[in-house]
Chains A and B, each alone.
Chain A
Amino acid sequence: MNLLSIEGLGISFGGIKAVNNVSFGVKPGEIVSVIGPNGAGKTTLFNMISGVYLPGAGKVILNGEDVTAMSPHLLARRGMCRTFQNLQVFQSMTVLENTIAGYHLQESGSVLADILNLPSSRRRAKAAEAGARDLLRRVGLERAAEREAGSLSYGSLKRLEIARAMALNPKVLLLDEPAAGCNAVETEEIDHLIAEIAASGVAILLVEHDMKLVMRISNHIVVLDHGEKIAEGDPASVSQNPAVIAAYLGAENAAG
């Protein structure tokens, strides 16, 4: 049973079909990667699934419910969370506060209780902080907890974003190029982290350029080219697929 189902999703920008009729599913504990050459429509697809863009056609089904074009904060309530290719952290807040922000849905209560600093508000904040410190330990950022997020290295920020997403305790996690701009060591750390999250039963959808990472950790790969799905399957079969090779190397090379 798929936790996340993409059914015939499509969108056009100014008459050009950026994504056309793409369908696939992600099961709990599974890592599905979307790959394809630059401009294939991967991030556009991601933005449609996560409610940033309004799809022109098709449906997004989350846990049996139609969540097409639902606002991101409502998707978060239903257990879907994402990270961003171009990093979206709260720069002027500390690393700890950034992670606590991920607990917003569990932590937030009435504003009045917050203003009056009532015991209920303090209890919620304390629980969120304890959870956040635990997560920072898991992603290896516990020593940076009190630092301003803006002062962290690129690789650390990537891990911070994943920690913040994990704080939501999501059922489905969308990772947009989690290893982009990271060095080999950082990539390996993120690799372990993703595998660990999947092992806990989270359905993971991944867009990634680093082919070695994709081949290593994916259960299933969906290949896009010019907005269309040209192949899908396990890493071994996809890497042998002539259409995929052609898309990556260029049609002429494949023919010759």
Chain B
Amino acid sequence: MRLTPKSATLLALVVLIALAPVFFPSGFYYRVGALIFVNALAVTGIVILTGWAGQISLGHAGFAGIGAYACALAPVHWGIHPALAILLGAAISAVLAWLVGRPILRLKGYYLAVASLGMGILISMVLNNERWLTRGPDGIDVPELGLRDVLKDAGLSLTNGQFWYFLCGIVLVIGAWLALNLHDSATGRALRALHGSEVAARTVGMDVARLKLQAFVISAVYASVSGSLLALQNKFITPDVAGFMHSVEMVTMAVLGGVGSVAGAIFGAAVLTLLPQVLTVFAEYEQLVLGLVMVLVMIFLREGVVPSILRKIRGSGE
């Protein structure tokens, strides 16, 4: 039996996540892995928005910020369990994306990039300046998720690093599965269609503004959950999570791996998360390297690394 691209991607992902720990030189790499998964989740949302619907957001870190601070604040102030705070953050992000996207996405062109940029900056400013609530730029503690203790009581004892590695891995697999479902569905097809020709999409009855809005809201939820997981595993969060550089990072990861492909998004997230961990010198020149990667990919691998390689393999196979 031939594997569909969807099951092939999911199978490869599960195998990689399950087997990678065998090669880890130290427990530290569980943490790196978890970071990769968290970033890959946000970038999967970018694939839906940018790769399929053709819309650009420069403020997605804002949604990650909402997800992160929901987990920091809701348990302390309203006594909501951190796991429910993830859902609360996602719901707030979805509503905000809807409010911002609804008027903007009726316009033709790249207005969403500008509007989302402004929105991201605003969220970042609120997180930095409203010290009474967020404690400002110094960051804030995030409560324990508590799931690890539950597992321990049930007889499954994991180190903190292992726990977050597998939890984020599972969430990423689910996120990838949902995105791949969407890709082959009526909605996903319509998103890709309007990216190809808006005129033709309208002609066959597609409500272009509504479809773009759906893509924006869905991708905001991905970013929000990613922010929540980041905050919960670090047990600490600063407003940097909502910063402009984080938004650019998400887009760069997607473009590097291949903005139209979920597998590419995960690859891009892995490369750009690993680099600064492996080469400490990279950290100082991070912005420079991000820019350089963008330029080189645009020139040499317009579709991104993974789709370009796949095309080569298929091309030579025929």
Contacts and interface: CB of A to CB of B under 8 A. Distances in A.
Given A84-B199, A84-B200, A88-B199, A125 B205 contact: no
B204 A102 contact: yes
B197 A90 contact: yes
Interface string A97-125: 11011101101110100111100010011
A168 interface: yes
Interface stretch (A75-83, A181-189, A196-204, A213-221): A75-83
A88 B186 contact: no
Nearest to B194: A90
A88 B203 CA distance: 10
Given A73-B202, A101-B189, A109-B186, A115 B218 contact: yes
B182 interface: yes
A81 B189 CA distance: 19
A77 B202 CA distance: 10
B196 interface: yes
Contacts of A175: none
B178 interface: yes
Interface string B159-202: 00000000000000000001001101111111011001101111
Contact of A108 (B182, B187, B192, B200): B187
A237 interface: no
Contact of A104 (B184, B190, B218): B190
Contacts of A81: 203-204
A193 interface: no
Contacts of A102: 204
B207 interface: yes
B219 to A, nearest CB: 12
A241 interface: no
Contacts of A167: 204
A114 B181 contact: yes
B207 to A, nearest CB: 5
Contact of A77 (B184, B187, B197, B205): B205
B214 interface: yes
Given A108-B186, A111-B214, A125-B184, A164 B204 contact: yes
Contact of A97 (B189, B203, B206, B208): B189
Contacts of B199: 52, 72, 84, 88
Interface residues of B, number: 26
Interface in B133-147: none
B202 A93 contact: no
Contact of A91 (B185, B196, B206): B196
Contacts of A107: 186
Contacts of B181: 114-117, 121
A92 interface: yes
B190 A108 contact: yes
Contacts of A88: 197, 199-200, 203
A89 interface: yes
Contact of A93 (B182, B185, B196, B203): B196
B177 to A, nearest CB: 8
Contact of B205 (A98, A109, A124, A168): A168
A128 interface: yes
Q: Which of A71, A82, A104, A165 has the most CB of B within 10 A?
A: A104
A200 to B, nearest CB: 19
B193 A101 contact: yes
B303 to A, nearest CB: 10
Given A73-B208, A76-B205, A93-B192, A124 B197 contact: no
A89 B197 contact: yes
Interface in B36-60: none
Contacts of B189: 93, 97, 100-101, 104
Q: Which of A97, A117, A125 has the most CB of B within 10 A?
A: A117
A114 B187 contact: yes
Contact of B186 (A73, A98, A114, A168): A114
A116 B205 contact: no
B184 A93 contact: no
A101 B204 contact: yes
* Closest 8 pairs between A and B when the two form their complex, measured CB to CB: A76-B205, A114-B185, A90-B196, A88-B200, A117-B181, A72-B202, A105-B205, A108-B186
24 contacts: A50-B203, A72-B203, A73-B203, A76-B202, A81-B203, A82-B203, A89-B196, A89-B197, A90-B200, A92-B196, A93-B189, A93-B193, A97-B189, A97-B192, A104-B186, A105-B204, A108-B187, A115-B185, A115-B187, A115-B218, A125-B185, A125-B186, A165-B203, A168-B204
